[in-house]
Amino acid sequence: MLSGLSSVVKRHSIITFFVLAYALSWWAWVLYALELFPNPIASFGPFLAALAVLAVTQGRSGVAVCCGEWCAGGCH
């Protein structure tokens, strides 16, 4: 099951990114509209979607390189 899902993500990484980014960005607003959540929180949907797609397509080393470059400018 997971190997089939990862092959789909690898073949359609851009589409997967946009679907995940949209879903992860709007989930809190759905809960807010249904009055199940007191207030919507700041969404990091595109960032989380990018990390998820990167993890599936490039593995742990791809995420480490991405986060290493991101933090290289100011994370100590």
**Exposed, middle or buried, 36 (CB in 10 Å: 0-12/13-18/19+)?**
exposed
Please report whether residue 76 resides in a domain: no
pLDDT of the chain along its 76 residues, tens only? 567 878 888 888 999 999 999 998 888 788 888 888 777 666 788 888 999 998 888 887 777 777 776 555 544 4
* Cβ within 8 Å of residue 18, ≥6 positions away: 49
State the pTM of this model. Answer: 0.69
- Judge whether 37 lies within some domain: yes
What is the structure's pLDDT at 76? 44
The pLDDT value given to residue 21: 92
Domain limits for position 53: 2-71
Question: For the chain, how many structural domains are there in total?
Answer: 1
pLDDT of residue 36: 82
